[in-house]
Amino acid sequence: MSFRRPSLRREIVLGYSAILLVALSLFAGATYAILRSSLANAGTQSLRQTALAAERIVIPRGLPVVSVSEELLPPTAGAVEVLRRRTRLATGDELNIVVARTGHVEQHTLRSFALIALMLIPITAVLAAVAGRSMADRILQPLNRLVTASREIGIGGLSRRVDEPERPAELRELALAYNGMLERLERAVVTLRSFTADASHELRTPLTAIRGTAEVALARDRTADELRGTLEEVLDETGSMLHLVEDLLVLARGETAQAEPVGAVDLSAVLRDVQEVGEALAGGKPVQVRLDAPEGLSVAGDAGALRRLLLNLVSNAVKFTPHGAVTITARQVPAAEAAVAPAEGARAEDGGGFVEVQVADTGIGIAPDDLPRVFDRFYRADAARVTGGTGLGLAIALMVAERHRGTLSVESTPGVGSVFTLRLPALVKG
C-alpha cells in the first residue's frame, strides 16, 4: 500500500492556516479575559456610584459624616455582586445602603463576543487558507516549471536550460544552480563522448596491428625465427596498448579523486631524480640534460604524481630535441612577487609564495596552431605522430598540476624550442 507524500503547497497552506488559527484563538481568549475583567471592574464601580448617589439623597445636606466604609457581601439569589456602604453620622446614627447588580448586561456582552469570535475565527482561517493556497500557487509556479523541465531533459537534451524567475530570489538561485549543473553535465558528457571516441580509436590501432600480424602468421607455415619476429611485433603493439591503458587509468583516477594531495615533498630531490632519468633517455643523442635548482624547495602534494608530471615534460623535451640541451630550472617565487603577478588559477600558501619550475629545450618547437591544444587528450601534432606516444602525457601533467592547486603553461617558437612553466604553491615551514 502506497501513501501519497504531502505536497509543499499543502504544507504551506496547512501550516499558515494552523498558525493563524492558533494566533486568533489566543488573541480571542486573551481579549475575552480582559473584557470580562473590565466589565467586572466597571460593575463594581457602578455599584459604588449608585450607593453614593443614594446616600446623598438620604442624608440631609450639611449634616456632618464621621466615617464611611464599603464592603462586598456574598451574592444573593439573582445577583452577581452585592455592595454595602456604611456611613456613621455626627448625630450617632448609622446609615447602611445595600446595592446589588444582576450581571445580565455583562453576561450578554460576553456571550455576544464569544459568538462573534467563534464565527469569525473559522471564517478567517478558511479565507486565509484560500489566500495562502493562491499565494503558494503563485510562488511555486516557477518551481513547477523547473520540475517539468527537469523531467523532460534527458541525456541528449543537456543543452536546454530552465527559466530563471526574477522572484522569489530563492527560486532564482535554485534555477541558476540547476542551469549551472546542466552546463557542467553537458561539458562532462561531451568530454566523455570525445574521450571514449578517441580512446576507442587509439586502442583500435594496436589491436588491428595485432590481429593483422596474427592473420599473416597463420596464413602459412612459419619458421621459428619468423614466429619469433611475429611475437616480437605483437609484444611491441601490446606494450603500446598497455602504456595507453595505464595513462587512461591515471587520468580516470585523477578525475575521481576527492581529497587534496597532502604531505611535504622535497621538490629538489624529485628534480634530481628526473634529471637522471632524462640523461638516460637522452643516451645516444647529442642532448644534454641540465639542472639548476637550489636545495630545500618544498611543496605540499604527492611525490609520485609530481615526479610523473616532471618526467613527462622532460621526456617530451628530450624526444623533440634532436641536438642541444634540455634545461631544468627551479626557483622560489617570494610572496610579494607572487602577489604582484600571480599565476592564473594558482593559490599560494599563506605567505609562502610559489615554487616555479621551467623545462626549456632547444628542439623543434611547437607550431602556433598546435600550441592551444597541446594539453588536450589524444592530441598529437604531426611531429608527435612520427615519434609515437599516446597523446596523454601533457594532459596528465596538466591534471596533476591542477590537483596540486598549481598551473602549467607553455611558450614555444618553431625551430627555436619550447619552455614549459610549472607553478606550485610553496610549502610554509613552521
For 260-291, the pLDDT digits (tens) are 556 888 999 999 999 998 888 888 889 999 99
**What's the confidence (pLDDT) of residue 328?**
93
Task: Look at 388 and 184; give whichever has higher pLDDT.
Answer: 184
Burial class (CB within 10 angstroms; exposed 0-12, middle 13-18, buried 19+) of 251: middle
8-12, 61-65, 419-423: range with highest mean pLDDT: 419-423
**What's the confidence (pLDDT) of residue 224?**
82
- pLDDT value at 400 more than 50: yes
Query: Could you report the per-residue pLDDT of 187-219, keeping only the tens digit for each?
Result: 777 777 776 776 676 677 677 777 887 887 788
213-237: average pLDDT: 81
**End-to-end CA gap in the chain:** 63
**What's the confidence (pLDDT) of residue 411?**
92
**Vertex 198, ends 197 and 202: CA angle to 5°?**
120
Q: How far is CA 320 from CA 18, 286, 310, in A?
A: 77, 12, 16
Which stretch of 28-42, 251-265, 266-280 has the lowest confidence by average pLDDT?
251-265
Query: Could you report the per-residue pLDDT of 104-116, keeping only the tens digit for each?
Result: 888 888 899 999 9
Total Cβ atoms within 10 A of residue 51 = 20
Residues 159 and 190: their CA atoms lie apart, in Å, by 11
pLDDT > 70 fraction of the chain, expressed in percent and rounded: 83
Closest CA to 76 of 97, 58, 54, 103: 103
Residues 426 and 264: their CA atoms lie apart, in Å, by 10
Which domains does the chain carry? 8-132 (no CATH), 155-255 (1.10.287.130), 257-425 (3.30.565.10)
343-370: average pLDDT: 75
Read off the pTM: 0.53
Whether the CB-CB separation of 287 and 323 falls below 8 Å is answered with yes
Task: Look at 379 and 210; give whichever has higher pLDDT.
Answer: 210
- pLDDT value at 342 more than 50: no
Closest CA to 420 of 367, 370, 368, 371: 371
Largest Cα span, the chain:
159
Query: Could you report the per-residue pLDDT of 86-109, keeping only the tens digit for each?
Result: 988 888 888 898 888 887 888 888
Task: Look at 3 and 42; give whichever has higher pLDDT.
Answer: 42
| pLDDT, averaged across the chain | 80
**What's the confidence (pLDDT) of residue 343?**
44
> DSSP string of 362-374?
-SS---TTTGGGT
pLDDT band for 341, please (50, 70, 90 cuts). Answer: very low
Whether the CB-CB separation of 244 and 272 falls below 8 Å is answered with no
Sheet of strand 65-73: strand arrangement:
65-73, 81-89, 94-101
Q: How far is CA 97 from CA 55, 58, 79, 240, 241, in A?
A: 7, 10, 16, 123, 120
3-class secondary-structure state, position 94: strand
**What's the confidence (pLDDT) of residue 5?**
66
**What's the confidence (pLDDT) of residue 1?**
44
pLDDT > 90 fraction of the chain, expressed in percent and rounded: 14
326-351: average pLDDT: 64
Helix-helix angle 224-256:169-219, to 10 degrees? 170
Task: Cell numbers for 179, please give them.
Answer: 542551469
- pLDDT value at 43 more than 90: no
pLDDT band for 247, please (50, 70, 90 cuts). Answer: low
50-62: average pLDDT: 85
Task: Look at 302 and 156; give whichever has higher pLDDT.
Answer: 302
Burial code (b: 16+ CB inside 10 Å, e: under 16) for 95-106 equals eebebbbebeeb
Total Cβ atoms within 10 A of residue 344 = 7
- pLDDT value at 155 more than 80: no
pLDDT band for 251, please (50, 70, 90 cuts). Answer: low
